[in-house]
Structure formats: C-alpha cells, structure tokens
Structure 1
Amino acid sequence: MRAILVLLIIVVLVAIAAIALGFVNVSQTRTASLPTISVKGGSAPAFNVQTANVSVGVENHVVQTPTVDVKKP
C-alpha cells in the first residue's frame, strides 16, 4: 500500500514538472457553463418553537479565600 502511494506521488510530481517545464501544454478548447434549471412551486417548511424563559440576574456574595505567605530562606 505504501509503495503504491509513493508511486502515485512520484507520478504527480513528474506531471507537475512536465507542465511547468513546457513538455506538456494544456489549453482549454471549450468554456464551461452551468446547466439550466427550472424550479416551480413549493414552499419553505414552517416550525413552531417554544423555548424556556431565562432570566439573568446579579447577586452579591462574600467569599472567603485563603491567604498564602511565601518566605524566602
């Protein structure tokens, strides 16, 4: 499997080098165009969504935190 992957990479690199050095010339002979599509009728889906009421408030609390003393020797 690894040998096939290495061989494929080598082939791609050789193709890129051939195009870059001018050994292979790629030119476009016909322009591309999108297909014509006709859409008639239909409707978008409808949804009824009910969500919970969320109230956000602020409360003040006193939190005791420990103190750390660092003493150098």
Structure 2
Amino acid sequence: MRQTAFILAGLVSAASIGLVGCDVQKTQEGNVTVPKYEVSKTQEGDVTLPKYDVDAPKVDVTTEKKEVEVPKVGVYTEKETLTIPKVEVTPAKDRDDDKVAEKK
C-alpha cells in the first residue's frame, strides 16, 4: 500500500514537471478570413492555422532503495529500506537525442 502511494506521487510529479519542460516554437503565423454572406456569397473564405513544433522533455522515472526513519507505534523509530520514485527530467532544449538533432 505504501509503495503504491509513492509510485503514484512520483507519476503525478513527473506529469506536472513534464508540462513545464516543453519547448514550443511557433513556425508559421495563422490567418483566418471568414466568408461574408448576404443573400449570396461575396467573398471566399481562407483559413491558415498556425504551426507549432513541440519538443517534449525526456522523463525517466525509476526507483531506488533509501534508508529512512519510519515512526513505529511507541516512542521510538527504526530505519527501514523503502523503494521510492526517482524522477529525472531533461528539458527539450537540453536534450541531445536524434529527434531534436534532426530538427535543428
């Protein structure tokens, strides 16, 4: 039960950090011209949506064993080895994998 709570906490923190680490660059301006109508069409419509290149961060979630003090029933604590999540986030602009290298 305790391990599941740690894993869920790690995944939630990884997801929130992942949203902050995105590198977004606008690659094209957008243009929207809506058609005007009276009884007959007087102008053709033109829609050009903006384009974005989004490089998501690389997120590695692993576990490691750490010895921490865990309170026990009574007035004492004892050390116990638990598996805790370890999250490493590399922002998109700092990544050096092949995908990012091809776009530059």
Q: Normalization by structure 1: what TM-score?
A: 0.31
Q: Normalization by structure 2: what TM-score?
A: 0.22
- The structure in which a higher percent of residues are strand is 2
Between structure 1 and structure 2, the one with the greater Rg is 1
Q: Which has the higher contact order (CA 8 A, sep 6+)?
A: 2
